[in-house]
Amino acid sequence: MLSCKRVTALIEMKSELNLNTTQHTQIFIHTRFCKSCKLYKKQSGLIDKALGIIISEEVLMMNKPVHRLSVEIKKDILCKIETS
């Protein structure tokens, strides 16, 4: 049986690569007997989803200013740059 370190590495590759049958079997068997790696697999998938959602939301937000910073504050910042 593969070690926990190597199985968790395989689990990460699984999201992007087509693993071969042996590798799939290795993950399957290992996570059947190892509760820790089974939890890791589930949580790793959750983190992937969360990262995907959070980051894409953020990118959308970053490219679309919906509020305007007041002119006074902009002036204030420019003033600080000038006198720095």
Q: Which residues bind another protein (CB under 8 A)?
A: 3-6, 8-9, 12-13, 16-17, 36-37, 39-40, 43-44, 46-47, 49-56, 59, 61-70, 73-74, 76-78, 80-82, 84
Q: Cβ of residue 84: shortest distance to another protein, in angstroms?
A: 5
Measured from the Cβ of residue 30, the count of other Cβ atoms closer than 10 Å reads 21
Q: Closer CB to another protein, residue 20 or residue 62?
A: 62
**Alpha-carbon distances, residue 26 vs 13, 30, 33, 44, 49 (angstroms):** 13, 6, 11, 17, 24
